[in-house]
Structure 1
Amino acid sequence: MSTIVRAVAVIVTAFAMLGSASGLSVANTDPLAGKTYKEASSIVAGWNATPVINTVVGDHLSTDQCMVVTSQKSHRQIDGAQQTVFLLNLYCNDGVAKAGTPGNSAVSPQAKLSAKNAKTGEWCSQPAQATNDKCAEFCSNHDGLCTVTF
């Protein structure tokens, strides 16, 4: 009898672990992941919180251009007052690896986002987009991707 109970417990545990693991990998609920540090900092400030760089991988980009890989909400005490902070883990290599330059694999989600942003920057750089508010916002948040000044 106890052998059957143990076997059932092992099976139930295995299914529970599989269900939770697949649930974690299906959707990334981190609202800051995939944003540049500049974009994420602005969003965090809008939440009346403070962005704090937690970790940095790479050194080929300026901090504002680094990609937020993950973030975590936390709290700290300063002068007796509790302050909300977001710990940001940054990736600061180029969006896509090139000969002699480290970066993401061309098939990774980060490289695909980098390629999409490059295309958007190219499109927004066209003279016909000079009055496009969306392009102005994009270009102000993606230094170096647009060749026009809004």
Structure 2
Amino acid sequence: MSDPLIFDSWTGLGRILLAGTLAYGALVAMLRVSGKRTLSKMNAFDLIVTVALGSTLATVILNRSVPLAEGVLALALLICLQYAITWTSVRWPLAESIVKSEPTLLLHEGCFLDDAMRRQRVTQAEILAALRESGLDSPGAARSVVLETDGSLSVVSRTD
């Protein structure tokens, strides 16, 4: 017999509603307890943890073979590991250098830094867009443009 395409059972729907609500509630509670850093602007490491949390939550909700307690433990494990790594990276520069990238200067005193742009895979059009978003009309109006560790572009105008 094949798997049902549209509807399997009311029990399955009830399980999703109950497990989904409880797992989501547990995740929100754990994120609140773990602090603001868990929900901060994302660098690559934070993005990986966020995707893993989402994948784990979806598995708990949709996979009948994963009991709710095991799923909540998996969510707690991911949050605890992220907390431990960020705690370590705040205290030891070597750990921070492994987890986080450095900001990169892409434009300085109106001049594009082509080597840095190529290494970071950023185009002049992207830098010009960041300048416009900051209210500047030309590269010469900027003191610098920096690619931050979270992937955003920061613009420092000459008047700052």
Q: TM-score per shorter chain, which class?
A: under 0.3
Higher-strand-fraction structure: 1
TM-score by length of 1: 0.25
Higher-helix-fraction structure: 2
